[in-house]
Amino acid sequence: MDRRSLRLCGFAVVLGFASAVIALVLMWLISFVTNLAFYGRVSIAHASPAEAVPSLGIWVLFIPVAGALLVGLMARFGSKAIRGHGIPEAMEQILTNRSKIPARVTVLKPVSSALAIGTGGPFGAEGPIIATGGALGSLLGQLTSSSPAERKTLLAAGAAAGMAATFGSPVSAVLLAVELLLFEYRARSIIPVALAAVTATGLRLAYEGPAPVFGMPNVAPASLGALVFYVLLGGAMGLIAAAVTRIVYWIEDGFERLPIHWMWWPAIGAVAVGGIGYFVPDTLGVGYYNISAILADNLPLKAVALLCAMKFVSWAIALGSGTSGGTLAPLFTIGGGIGALIGAAAVALLPAAGIDLRVAALVGMAALFSGASRALLASAVFAFETTLEPMSLLPLLGGCAAAYFVSSVVMRNTIMTEKLARRGVSTPSDFATDPLEHVLVRDIAASPVVTIEKSRPIREVQEWIASGTPEGSHQGYPIVDEHGTLFGVLTRRDILANRSKKTTIGELIAQMPRYVYDDCTVRQAADHMVNHGIGRLPVVNRAGKPRLVGIVTRSDILSSYRDRIAERTPEAPSKSLPLLRRPRAPRD
């Protein structure tokens, strides 16, 4: 932590404020498009497309198509990056483009998403808001003097702020940023992201109030039998998450095979959106009210089953067509509905187990997202923050963990990373400490070192190297003075190729030597080698003059990974434990 970290925190607070404003404006824009497209009025008041379907009749088929045509034109002539739900695209920019998102995406993404969702697209507003906040953070990093690591932090801060402003869920927003965008947990990155999320949530509280986004009646603590069921339910949702991911990408592959330009694909997908919306109006638009109704157990089971099935078909086709929209709300709707249906079946079979349909729906909602995205902690905490039901935390953690486990076993990539994997981009999946950070240079450095005194004649040293002795076969030699103090470093090639009139080895030294202290970490030594393009470093003591105590090479650095490999290698079971051994009787 340093002054640049303080600067980064200041930027994060600004991003939090800006992302909260963007979230509010985008919701207004979606409402404006919905009112104009479905009701023919100019207003930013909240409106649901479902309520307009009875009066519109067959015309509801054409509204999503018109919106999708506009989105296709914006993607074709504006930026192709607006296609999709935003998070995979942000991940790709972090991993391949030094966290640089084009500035035009900051404007085109929210506008295109408002058009897609406002005209009935079955998406959530949170995905575009997250993507827009991330784009704004990247833009701020590009306009200021920032390193790629700092830009990544700003991008993640903007994305987290966007999610927090949408749902009032700052902790899960930070966890989502850690699990899907930062790929690390460091003070320099986690603190700015947290400050951005807190700022955005504070502003949301000011204009929306403290009520949870998905209000549900209070639930009782889970019994042991119910807890077992919720964990098994999470495992089942892991299987469903894998199936959902594969179906979505199977549909996307189908669109890829169409003999027409991708600009027209969203309009083709919108035909299905409009057709399904005509028969099941609640599939149109964001549909946050559907999630609240499922969690409150206010819908008949037949209506829940129909809604989930049709929402999935509509969303999968629309997302596969490459239009602009989010995945969180559809996954929450589908997962909540499936959880409620499985819970109802379990209650009928095991009435004494104490299973709560509302908790089953909540676990299904969070577990489906956990299995599909592998954002375990973000999923569990999100469900808690958006309902404010503390007694649901234990079932949520068990269900999300089971979904994560099953999904990891049956599916290599996630709904977020499959697209990147197909493009040849590898995304981190594990968060582990760097083994080079825990080993000191003195623990791996070779000692004693074969050195050459700077006063030795060049001709003599050349003959010594050419003689083939083991000491003369090294690729590099530290050059020392008569007191053993490091003077420079020469390679074998430097010495043998010399044909100058210089007479002593010391005269060949052209620059100050690069070295590392014996109490530095191996990570520092490796970074030093990379920065200066060298393959070996003399090791010196820190006190006094740089007296040579060893040398470290690239192969020595690689040897530091032996402990990491050993930790993953199973060991034979111990035949006896030291604490259980009987002490030997003392001899007479």
Walk me through the domains of the chain, giving residue ranges and CATH numbers: 3-208 (1.10.3080.10), 224-422 (1.10.3080.10), 435-566 (3.10.580.10)
Q: Which pTM does this prediction carry?
A: 0.86
pLDDT band, residue 271 (cuts 50/70/90): very high
Q: What is the mean predicted confidence (pLDDT) over 113-120?
A: 92
pLDDT digits (tens, 9 = 90+) for 289-320: 999 999 998 889 999 999 999 999 999 999 99
Q: What is the mean predicted confidence (pLDDT) over 82-91?
A: 79
How far apart (Å, rounded) are the C-alpha atoms in residues 332 and 369? 7
> How many DSSP H helices and E strands does the chain contain?
24, 6
pLDDT digits (tens, 9 = 90+) for 216-263: 888 899 999 999 999 999 999 999 999 999 999 999 999 999 999 999
Q: What separation, in Å, do the N-terminal and C-terminal C-alpha atoms of the chain show?
A: 63
How far apart (Å, rounded) are the C-alpha atoms in residues 485 and 92? 49
Cis peptide before 448 (omega within 30 of 0): yes
Burial 280-300 (b: 16+ CB within 10 A, else e): bbbbbbbbbebbbbbbbbebe
How far apart (Å, rounded) are the C-alpha atoms in residues 161 and 17? 8
pLDDT digits (tens, 9 = 90+) for 433-461: 788 888 899 888 888 888 888 888 888 88
**Cβ atoms within 10 Å, residue 144:** 13
CB neighbours of 144 closer than 8 A, spacing ≥ 6? 11
How far apart (Å, rounded) are the C-alpha atoms in residues 553 and 506? 22
Q: Please give the pLDDT value at position 125.
A: 83
Average pLDDT value for the chain: 89
> Is a pLDDT exceeding 70 seen at residue 585?
no
Six-digit token string for 94: 């972090």
Q: Please give the pLDDT value at position 586.
A: 58
pLDDT band, residue 581 (cuts 50/70/90): low
pLDDT digits (tens, 9 = 90+) for 170-206: 999 999 999 988 888 888 999 999 999 999 999 999 9
> Is a pLDDT exceeding 80 seen at residue 572?
no
pLDDT digits (tens, 9 = 90+) for 348-381: 998 888 899 999 999 999 999 999 999 999 999 9
Q: Please give the pLDDT value at position 578.
A: 59
How far apart (Å, rounded) are the C-alpha atoms in residues 68 and 322? 10
Q: What is the mean predicted confidence (pLDDT) over 461-488?
A: 83
Do the Cβ atoms of 367 and 403 come closer than 8 Å?
A: yes
Q: What is the mean predicted confidence (pLDDT) over 7-12?
A: 94
Q: Please give the pLDDT value at position 574.
A: 66
> Is a pLDDT exceeding 80 seen at residue 123?
yes
Q: What is the mean predicted confidence (pLDDT) over 476-490?
A: 84
Six-digit token string for 97: 């483009």
Pairing mode of beta strands 536-540, 476-480: unpaired
> What DSSP state is assigned to residue 536?
E
Q: Please give the pLDDT value at position 424.
A: 84
**Cβ atoms within 10 Å, residue 57:** 9
Element (H, E) at 516: strand 516-517
pLDDT band, residue 573 (cuts 50/70/90): confident
Taking phi over 0 as left and psi of -120 to 50 as alpha, with beta for the rest, 440 belongs to beta
| Distance set, CA 485 to CA 440, 478, 546 (Å) | 22, 10, 6
Q: What is the mean predicted confidence (pLDDT) over 522-540?
A: 90
How distant is the alpha carbon of residue 551 from its chain centre? 39
How far apart (Å, rounded) are the C-alpha atoms in residues 7 and 140? 12
Element (H, E) at 223: none
pLDDT band, residue 391 (cuts 50/70/90): very high
Nearest-CA neighbor of 126 among 382, 347, 310? 382
CB neighbours of 13 closer than 8 A, spacing ≥ 6? 195, 196, 199
> Is a pLDDT exceeding 80 seen at residue 339?
yes
How far apart (Å, rounded) are the C-alpha atoms in residues 108 and 111? 5
Name residue 47's amino acid: A
Q: What is the mean predicted confidence (pLDDT) over 387-409?
A: 95
State whether the Cα torsion 448-454-456-459 is positive or negative: positive
Name residue 103's amino acid: A
485 pairs with which residues across the strands?
547
Strand 548-553: give its sheet, edge to edge.
Answer: 516-517, 536-540, 548-553
Helices (H), 350-466: 357-373, 376-387, 393-410, 418-422, 441-444, 458-466
CB neighbours of 64 closer than 8 A, spacing ≥ 6? 119, 120, 121, 270, 271, 273, 274, 277, 284
Taking phi over 0 as left and psi of -120 to 50 as alpha, with beta for the rest, 469 belongs to beta
* Three-state DSSP class for residue 542: coil
Q: Please give the pLDDT value at position 346.
A: 94
Residue 517 has φ and ψ, to the nearest 5°, of -80, 155
